[in-house]
Amino acid sequence: MLYRHFRRIGKVLPNNTGTQNMENRMNGLRERLQRWRLQETEKMKEMSPEQKVNYIVSYYWLWILGIAAAVFLTGFILYRTFFSVKEYWFYGMYANTMENGGNGSPLWIDYVAYAGYDPSEKKVEMNSSSWFDPSVQGGTNNSYYQAFVALAESGDLDVLVMGRDGLTGVGSSGRLLDLNDEKCSGIRSEYEDRIVTCVPYDEEYSTEPVPVGIDVSDSLLVTKYHLYDGDCVLGINAYTQRIDSVEMFLKFIFDDTWGE
Judge contact between 149 and 175, C-beta under 8 A: yes
pLDDT of residue 81: 45
211 and 188 in a common domain: yes
* Exposure letters 94-108 (e unless 16+ CB within 10 A, then b): bbbbebbbbbebebb
135 and 226 in a common domain: yes
User: Cα dihedral sign for 99, 105, 111, 117?
Assistant: positive
- CATH classification at residue 116: 3.40.190
Which residues 6+ apart lie within 8 Å of 111 measured at CB? 90, 124, 126, 249, 252
pTM of the model: 0.68
Closest by CA position to 92, among listed 125, 137, 136: 125
Q: From first to last of its 260 residues, what are the pLDDT tens digits of the chain?
A: 443 443 444 444 455 566 777 777 777 778 887 787 777 777 777 777 777 777 776 766 666 677 777 776 665 555 444 444 469 999 999 999 999 999 999 999 999 999 999 999 999 999 999 999 888 878 888 999 999 999 999 999 999 999 999 999 999 999 999 999 999 999 999 999 999 999 999 999 999 999 999 999 999 999 999 999 989 999 999 999 999 999 999 999 999 887 66
What is the distance between the alpha carbons of residues 244 and 240, in angstroms, rounded to a whole number?
10
198 and 111 in a common domain: yes
164 and 232 in a common domain: yes
Q: Which of 67, 82, 97 corresponds to the end of one domain? A: 82
- The boundaries of the domain holding residue 75 are 18-82
Q: How many CB atoms neighbour CB 216 within 10 A?
A: 24
pLDDT of residue 6: 36
Say how far residue 231 (Cα) sits from the centre of its chain: 28
Residue 259 domain-assigned?
no
Residue 38 domain-assigned?
yes
193 and 175 in a common domain: yes
User: Cα dihedral sign for 231, 250, 128, 109?
Assistant: positive
76 and 110 in a common domain: no
236 and 162 in a common domain: yes
121 and 72 in a common domain: no
163 and 55 in a common domain: no
Q: Which amino acid, residue 233?
A: V
Q: How many CB atoms neighbour CB 81 within 10 A?
A: 9
148 and 77 in a common domain: no
* Exposure letters 32-41 (e unless 16+ CB within 10 A, then b): eeeeeeeeee
Q: Which of 82, 114, 132 corresponds to the end of one domain? A: 82
Residue 12 domain-assigned?
no
